[in-house]
A and B are shown apart, each in its own frame.
Chain A
Amino acid sequence: MSVTVTPTKPVLPQPGSAPISVAELDQVDRALIDASASGPVLFFYTTAITWLLAATVFGFISSMKMHSPEFLGGWSFLTYGRIWPAYIDTLTYGWACPAGMGTLIWLMVRLCRVSLRKPALLVFGGIFWNIGVTVGVVNILLGVNSGHALLEFPSSASAILFIAYSLIAIWGVAVFENRRPGPVYVSLWYLVGALFWFPWLYGAANLMLTVLHVRGVMQSIVVAWFGANFIGLWMGAIGLASVYYFIPKVTGRPVASYYLASIGFWSFALFYPWLGGAHLAGSPVPVWMPTMGIAASIMSVVTLATVFVNFAMTMRGSYNMIYHSPTIRFTFYGAVAFIVTGLVNMIGSFRSVDRLTHFTEFGAGELHLGVYAFFSMAMFGAIYYIAPRLVGCEWLSATMIRLHFWASAYGIGLLICMMLFGGLAHGSAMDNTGQPFESVIEMGQPYMRGQTVAWIVLIIGHAFFTINFLLMILRFGKPAGQPTLFAPMEGEPH
């Protein structure tokens, strides 16, 4: 896939014209930085959106199969046990990771205030990453599955992904080293964390499972650790970096409290790596493991509270921005979902709840809260802000953005409710030994149909998003300058 991009040409002052102000210089500076990053960032975004479409198709098919198992039943490569992992892996590795990396690159160069050198390295990284995901997903559909949730890819694909990521991480360290002197903004802490944590996480999990080959329940322990960190810590860090950047940026108000932001970050770094243990409740592992997980999920309330207070204080007086700015609307949805995710994880980790929900769709609900309602919504918000600045062309249609928002917001809301409440109902029915298993299956059916309805809504949202993105990349929109808003706004535009 190739994307040709003509970056915005910064308007350089002509010799002899009036002396330029600091603000103007700043703008030229930013435009130069943006121009340097546009190739790789748009490459990551375009491939991410392509995978998002694939994930949408896979997700819809697997939801159909839950209530109509004969739907496309004749093909081995579309059987539920293959299409479901293919869906989850395209959603996370195909869409979420590249979307996150694109945002990470742009935030890094903006916050370090350096132009991006050697963009080819990043594009190579991006190409490798996409090859890795393709190899992995095709293998799953052909029936090669490692048997470990979220780590299904064969080791060849994981190795490619690891190399691809290393290229990006090396580049990230270089940018950070060359940053202009000055305070390091909170978002950068999260980004440096994300850059550093991922290779350890992904490398260690794969090494333990394939090279060191740990045995028995140790595999489940590694997988639980990986899954919780992949979503909670890695996506969490990039998502929060983005929220911390865009809420102050677009509202034009600085982060309310650096002190709170700092507590929020350190509690996040300290407690989130432990959350995986909570998913092992009732499993044949030492009892202290789930206990630590539950303790960590209770402690993570500190993170949630600081994030909540900080954003609420920053947004105070600017809530009307949700009405005007697409970026704020998506980002705010993501920030709220981050807090909801944490609370649902905490409630779900209590043993009395876990007893019911452990073997149900509830876990899928938690995953979608984190990966979609929080992370993907935050990434949509970032893309709505960043991409037009890199292309030099605004979004063609505010209506399409609005439709995307409502479809995504309601679609994922419905999907998650069906999973969480369906999971609770399914779990309670299984816990009630008087209820035969056939009637447990029957009872779950309405929730499964509800999920398919949610998928249809999501398909509509993603279609509008993709069309709008394509038209923008092909420069059908207004020339850059004024950001696309839902409603005209008085005063300073962002």
Chain B
Amino acid sequence: MKTFPAIFTGIFATFALGWAGAVMIPQFQLGGLQPQVDEEMGDIYPINVGGVTDQGRRVYASEGCFYCHSQQVRGKFDGSDIERGWGGRRTVARDYIYDDPIFLGSMRKGPDLANAGARTTKPESFYRELYDPRGAVPGSTMPSYRYLFTKRKISGQRSVDALDLAGPDAPEPGYEIVPTGEAKALVGYLLSLDRNHALKEVPQEAKKK
């Protein structure tokens, strides 16, 4: 039987190897990735939007949307994501350099949201989906996020964000349902999700959108 120093050296070395290979080399390879700059067109992608998008991203994390939704479009050989209309091209590492935290996700109980803001450009549709998923899509298993909305008395003018609700969902007359700050930030974030911009890493697929 081996002596302890030999065992310990082995335990150290094998783990160090895995750590170096599976974490440090990728960090050298990807850690310094920069946005793509097209000098002629004066065009930079991706851009760090910050502000409300960052707040919305935090709400997305707190509410655990990423346990049901992915944000990554796989290439034609890895899945039928593009055929499903979830994106015009596969997503690559450069798409995510400002995503903190990143939500590649490992589950698609619901559709991929990598390009949610390109598919749906109206905030009302997102509010509707969050307030009453089964009203939007019967049979949906998405939780409703009514606690991200408040009911309040209409004083004077009806507010611009108020939800257009009919049937059992509609509040009593004189009241309106409006999104809270969190819901607004979340929807701002969802609207910002568009990863269809052409990148030199994926030239051929990008043209097809």
Contacts and interface: CB of A to CB of B under 8 A. Distances in A.
B148 to A, nearest CB: 8
A284 B93 contact: yes
B38 interface: no
Interface string B82-108: 011000001111011111111111111
A54 B131 CA distance: 29
Contacts of A274: 18, 21-22
Interface string A416-455: 0000000000100011110001100110100010000000
B31 A270 contact: no
B1 interface: yes
Interface string B9-50: 011101101110111001101110100000000000000000
Contact of A148 (B29, B98, B101): B101
A69 B130 CA distance: 13
Contacts of B142: 69
Nearest to B100: A215
- Residue of A363, A437, A442 with most partner-chain B CB within 10 A: A437
A452 to B, nearest CB: 13
A147 interface: yes
A110 interface: no
B140 A74 contact: no
A286 B107 contact: no
Interface residues of A, number: 83
B62 interface: yes
A225 B22 contact: yes
A217 B30 contact: yes
A358 interface: yes
A171 to B, nearest CB: 17
Interface of B is mostly: loop
Interface stretch (B68-76, B152-160, B164-172): B68-76
B70 A359 contact: yes
Interface in A209-237: 213-222, 225, 229, 233
Contacts of A79: 63-64, 143, 145
B30 A80 contact: no
Given A269-B14, A286-B29, A355-B78, A221 B23 contact: yes
B70 A82 contact: no
A198 to B, nearest CB: 11
Interface stretch (A2-10, A189-197, A464-472): A189-197
A266 B63 CA distance: 42
Contacts of B106: 149, 279, 358-359, 363
Interface of A is mostly: helix
A70 B144 contact: yes
B29 A284 contact: no
Contacts of A233: 15
Interface in A45-75: 65-67, 69-70, 73-75
Nearest to A281: B78
Contacts, number: 218
A344 B102 CA distance: 27
Nearest to B8: A192
Contacts of A269: 10-11, 14-15
Contacts of B22: 221, 225, 273-274, 276-277, 289, 292
A52 B143 CA distance: 26
A179 to B, nearest CB: 9
Nearest to B82: A433
A444 B139 CA distance: 11
Among the interface residues A219, A233, A277, which one has the most CB atoms of the partner chain B within 10 A?
A219
B19 A204 contact: yes
Contacts of B8: 192, 196
B23 A216 contact: no
B177 to A, nearest CB: 15
B141 interface: yes
A444 B104 CA distance: 22
A394 interface: no
B79 A217 contact: no
A216 B67 CA distance: 18
A178 to B, nearest CB: 12
A193 B11 CA distance: 6
B44 to A, nearest CB: 16
A383 B141 CA distance: 39
Interface stretch (A27-35, A138-146, A300-308): A138-146
A282 interface: yes
A220 B104 contact: yes
Contact of B30 (A216, A272, A279): A216
Contact of A441 (B31, B139, B143): B139
A74 B19 CA distance: 43
A266 B10 CA distance: 8
Contacts of B12: 196
A146 B26 contact: no
Interface in A127-167: 143-149
Contacts of B18: 225, 229, 272-274
B30 A82 contact: no
Contacts of B72: 283-284
Nearest to A88: B67
B96 A85 contact: no
Interface string A104-145: 000000000000000000000000000000000000000111
B123 interface: no
Interface in A333-372: 351, 355, 358-361, 363
Interface string B102-128: 111111110110000000000000000
Counting from the closest, the 5 A-B pairs by CB-CB distance are A81-B64, A273-B18, A147-B101, A282-B78, A143-B62
Interface of A: 65-67, 69-70, 73-76, 79-82, 84-85, 143-149, 176, 183-184, 189, 192-193, 196-197, 200, 204, 208, 213-222, 225, 229, 233, 258, 262, 266, 269-270, 272-274, 276-277, 279, 281-286, 289, 292, 351, 355, 358-361, 363, 426, 430-433, 437-438, 441-442, 444, 448
